[in-house]
Structure formats: structure tokens, C-alpha cells
A and B are shown apart, each in its own frame.
Chain A
Amino acid sequence: MALTANRLSEGDVVFWASGQWVDQFAEAELFTEEATAEAAVALAKAQNRVVVDAYLIDVTRSEQGLAPVSYRERLRALGPTNELGHGKQALGGAAITALQAASGAARSTGRLDLIRRK
């Protein structure tokens, strides 16, 4: 699991990493135990001047790397599919490509690919 939220002042998507909030899913802290994860959620919710809407998301590992299980969370981690130059995906780089590929849904022009939840 990973912990995500939106920055209060800016609104952008962030991920918890050892008490800090990072922009990239690739840098998110991963939780394997419920208790540790819930403790982090509690800390996050106490930071109500920093973030809003903190919640846990399921993460899965494939040969391309780590990715959120839910399609919605993949979109939050990447950006909108109608504008590939907007959102975090615009940064490019290995982590972003891995995220796009991990879902098996790197979008090519004019075609729609569906992302299967594992």
C-alpha cells in the first residue's frame, strides 16, 4: 500500500514518504502492514494545513515495476490521457514510463487501451 493525498494550497497529488510528501509515485513509501499504514494515515490527517483527503491505495508489482492497482490512482499518478504534456507524466523519465507500461496501457494515438486491475 501507499499513502496519497492532495496538497492543500496547490491541490496537486502527493505521496507519503517517511513523513514527507513527495510528488512522484515512484518515491512513495510502501507499507506492507496495516498497522504501520494506519499510523501514517493518522499522522497525515493531523497535517490538515498541509494536505487534504489522505487515504491508502493498493499497489502491485509487475515486471515493469510498481503501480497503483486502481486505474483511477494511476491517472492521479500520471495525469490526464487526453493531454500527455499535462500533469506528472510530462516529466517523463524512467519512473513515469514504468508507470505507464506497468499498466500495459501506454496510450497510442487514436486507440484506447484499458487497464486491467490485477
Chain B
Amino acid sequence: MYRYDAIDKELLTDRSNEFRHQVARRLAGELSEDQFKPLRLMNGLYLQLHAYMLRVCIPYGTLNVAQVRRLAWIARTYDKDYGHFTTRQNIQFHWIKLRDAPDILDALAEVDLHAIQTSGNCIRNTTSDPRAGATAEEIDDPRVWSEAIRQWSTLHPEFSYLPRKFKIAVTASAKDRTAARVHDIGLALRRGRDGTLGFEVMVGGGMGRTPFIGQTIKEFLPATRLLSYLEAVLRVYNRAGRRDNIYKARIKILVSSLGAEEFGRQVEEEWAQIDGARADLPDTELARIRAAFIQPGLEVLPAVSDSYEAARAANPALARFIRNNVSAHKAPGYAIVDVSLKAHDATPGDANFDQLEAIADLAERFGLGDIRVTHEQNLVLPHVKQSDLPALFEGLAAVGLATPNINLVSDIIACPGLDYCALANARAIPVAQSIAQRFLDADRAELVGELKIKISGCINACGHHHVGHIGILGVDKKGEEYYQLTLGGSGAEDASIGKILGPGINADQVAPAVDRLVEVYLAERQGEERFLDTYRRIGMTPFKEAVYVDAH
């Protein structure tokens, strides 16, 4: 894990001080709201429906025990005893007061946390694979590069007032767990033919009003040239991105209008003029960052643990948990555990004080103190001994964190929606809960298998509905909440944008519609097909006919 040195810590303190001054100036009337708003956004503070919301940065989705405990403390001390994990691996607090924000930032800084650039027209949290350092699938540890980007992008003076927000994701495995192809920049680690490390650079992905899959503008960028190349992309965007219309200001619009080839050419032209010696990280710094991620504490264990196998055989609930929530670790005798924040009656992505404290305890006891956040609003304990899995399971179950539904139908991404968000048109949380209720039967859910449902309360698509196998978009139709379903989206390495199923339906109709879609899938699937695969093979018509069979 990257450990903050004195320099990193002083940066957080200085930032916190700066914001304290800015808040004081605002409260004293020396700054107008117009002048203050970008400043508070760049410290993660939104004004939402009921209160301010603070979005705390969780760099590339990694947390240590002290940080989790501090987040729990903030939830209890300044909020309503819970936090909400987001689709960018961050955590949000929904009931914050502006006047408390400077103190909260100080409290975060004490454990090397912050809210820097979690909003605003700047470079946001660079996200990555929650299994980094634990999976055998990765070409290299993407956290090394995510940390390099984090530092480079933090308070970057040239790129703090971009045309619009800017999101970067780094993936390192063939299976993409970062949605890199729907990011402004997606970086996929690659090996060159001679074995050198590099990135495939994809630009212009994104969701919202105009969804796009990112286009590859550079097949192989040598890894040591990463920062200078990013500088070139950002500079082209800062100069040429539209500033006349916020709905056309993302880089995806620029890439689409120029074409990927021309955009890539402009980047190359700019890049050629950048002095790598100034702009790229020296090898010493890369080595220093890399050294921080060497995983200590992994023991040499046998691949099979008898006690674990016995417990699994004896306890069907444990067995179900293992089937759905546990994946292979690169080290024999270890496992990667997905912790679901999607209990059927809970708010998707939320964790309360007790749950956060329990996660901290369990990570400390069983997880080498390492906690991750996924972009699907769940948590991961990436380093757990198989022999500890039964005890871990009991610990999670005691606080309602053992729902065995990872990647299943009730593992739904849902944005906070109109219950909380000033931008929303419709509620998302109750819709997610109605679907989860419909599929309470765990056997049926496992029978259905992988089914990624994603719900957004408005076109801004924070719920990633465009890339849901089933996507659900909340719209306002004459003052009522309506929901438009899409099918066939994917945020993984097989990225695709979902297609509209048919006219919007009301909230009560959503869960029954999903039920019918599932029935079509179960009737039509062949072999090992997932829902997404069957849809891709048989197309929209059978699904549409099943949902819209009764004219209304």
C-alpha cells in the first residue's frame, strides 16, 4: 500500500488550510456563490436536495484500517451514521454542513484521506482494479500507475479549470473490472513484443447524454512515457474542448467531432514537443512507488486447506457465499473476497457505522489490513486466507455484509437518485429494492447467474445504466417517475452501450418487467450463456415482446 510520506501529508494539510480560508471568505461574504462553487466542488462538496454532500476520495479504491475507522467516525460525528460508496470507488456523506467541512477535511488528512478534485472541472479520482496485487490475471500492478497519475493530477495548475470533468481508469487484466472503455481516458496495461510494459490508450469513452465507447488512439505507449502523453491529451482537450455548452464539453465530444485519427494525430504532435525529461517520472520515483505496493505478509500456504473444505461442505450458507463472493488469489491458500453492500432491504452501496467498523476489524484480523472499493459499489478484502474464510463469513454475516449475490441480479448499481440528488429526475433506490425483493430466492438468483442491472436517476448516468446488461434510466414524464429500460450494455472488456427496450414504464412495472426479461433468458439460453450473451445472440425482439405484451 502506498504510504504517505511527510510531503504527501503536508500537501493535504496545506489543502485543508486553503479550503478553511475559502470557506471563511464565503461565509463572510467576500466570495460570491458563483466564485466559491468551483472551489468547494474541487474539495468534493455538493449542495444536494437536503444538505451538502461530501465526496471523499478513495484513490484507486484502496483503504487501510485506520482510514475505514475514520470514515466510520465521520459518519457518526458529522453525518447520519452511514456512508455511500460510489461508481468511482469514492465514498459520499449525504448530510454534511458546510461549516463542518474544514474540520472534516482535517480529520481526513490525519489518516491520509482527502476530498481533493472529487468534483469540479478537473481530473478526478483515477480508478483501478479492486483486485490489484491479488489477482494472477494482471500484467502489472495497476496501482503503481494509478498512484503516479494521482500525484501528477493533484492540483495540476494547467488542468484545474478544464471545459468539464475528466476521469481516468487503469486496468491491467484481460477482464476489465474498471469500466475503462467508458472513461475519458482508459489505460490498459500491455506487454510489447519485446516484453516492455506499456499502455493501450483509449480516449473519449463516457456515458451521460451522449454515451461513447472509448477509441484507441495509441496501441502501445511505453509505460515510462505515461505522464508526458497524458499531458499532451489534457493540453489538446483544455485548448479545444467546447466551453459554450456544458452538454458538449467532455472530451468524448471532441474526439467524436474530430475523429479518433485526427485527435490522436493532434496528441502526437503536441506530445512530440514535450520534453520527456521534464514531464515523465524518473525511474527512481517509479521504483519508489512500485516498492510501496510489494505485498508483505503473504505466507507460503498449501493450495488446499482441510478445515476450509470441511467447513464449506458442512455449511450450505458458507458454500453459497464462497460460490458467489470468493475468487482465486494468485497466492496458493489465499482468496479474494467480495463484500456485498447490496443486502435486499438495504440501500445499494451504503454501509453504516457498525458495518464500517466491522470491515475494519475483519480486514485487520483476516485481511492484512487491506480494503478495496469496487466501481459496482461493493467492497473487497483482497488477501484472505482460505482457512480464515469461515470465520470471516461469520463476522460479515453478523453485520449484514454476507449477502451472497456478487454479480447476480440483486447486485444492482443504483445512484442515490431523487431521494438525495439535486440533479435527479426520478428515484433509483426504491426501484433497486423492488427488483432485489423480486429475486429474494437465492437459488433462482444463482440459476440466473451473472446479470448486471444498473440504475440511474437521470441522464447524467452516475448509475452507469448505459453499460448495464439491463439498464434502467429514471425520467420525469409529466411530473411522474418513469423508467426506460435498455438491454445489452457492458462496462467490461466487451464494452457496449445498451439499446432501448421500449417506452418508459412506471416504477411498479419495473420489477415485473425484469422478471419477464429473466424468464425469456432462462427459456432461450444455450450452454453457459449469461443473460448478456443470450441477448447478443437472439436480439431485442423476444425480450421486447415479453415486456410489452399487454398494451397499456
The answer to whether B506 touches A114, judged by C-beta atoms less than 8 angstroms apart, is yes
The answer to whether B50 touches A49, judged by C-beta atoms less than 8 angstroms apart, is no
Chain A residue nearest in CB terms to B28:
A49
Residues of A within 8 Å of B27, CB to CB, are: 8-9, 49
Give Cα distance in the complex from A76 to B421, angstroms: 10
Give Cα distance in the complex from A87 to B49, angstroms: 10
The answer to whether B507 touches A114, judged by C-beta atoms less than 8 angstroms apart, is yes
The answer to whether A80 touches B99, judged by C-beta atoms less than 8 angstroms apart, is no
The answer to whether B478 touches A75, judged by C-beta atoms less than 8 angstroms apart, is no
B388 within 8 A of A: no
Q: Which of B90-98, B233-241, B391-399 is the interface stretch?
A: B90-98
A61 within 8 A of B: no
Among B370-391, those with CB < 8 Å from A are: none
The answer to whether B430 touches A82, judged by C-beta atoms less than 8 angstroms apart, is yes
Q: Determine how close the nearest CB of chain B comes to the CB of A21; give it in whole angstroms.
A: 15
The answer to whether B419 touches A10, judged by C-beta atoms less than 8 angstroms apart, is no
Residues of A within 8 Å of B430, CB to CB, are: 81-82, 112
- Assuming the A-B contacts A52-B47, A79-B50, A82-B419, are A11 and B480 also in contact, with contact meaning beta carbons closer than 8 angstroms in the complex? no
B420 within 8 A of A: yes
B297 within 8 A of A: no
Chain B residue nearest in CB terms to A6:
B47
Among B409-451, those with CB < 8 Å from A are: 418-420, 424, 427, 429-431, 433-434, 437
Number of residue pairs A-B, CB distance < 8 angstroms = 91
The answer to whether A112 touches B479, judged by C-beta atoms less than 8 angstroms apart, is no
Interface of chain A, main secondary structure: loop
B522 within 8 A of A: no
Residues of B within 8 Å of A13, CB to CB, are: 49-50
A12 within 8 A of B: yes
Among A66-99, those with CB < 8 Å from B are: 69-72, 75-76, 79-83, 86-87
The answer to whether B507 touches A117, judged by C-beta atoms less than 8 angstroms apart, is no
Residues of A within 8 Å of B479, CB to CB, are: 69-71, 115-117
Most buried by B among A8, A111, A115: A8
Residues of A within 8 Å of B156, CB to CB, are: none
Binding site for B on A (CB under 8 A): 6, 8-13, 48-49, 52-53, 69-72, 75-76, 79-83, 86-87, 110-112, 114-117
A-B contact pairs, 7 of them (CB 8 A): A8-B26, A8-B27, A11-B96, A12-B50, A80-B49, A81-B430, A86-B95
Given contacts A12-B50, A111-B508, A114-B506, 10 further A-B contacts (CB under 8 A): A11-B98, A53-B47, A72-B424, A75-B49, A75-B419, A76-B49, A86-B80, A115-B479, A116-B479, A117-B479
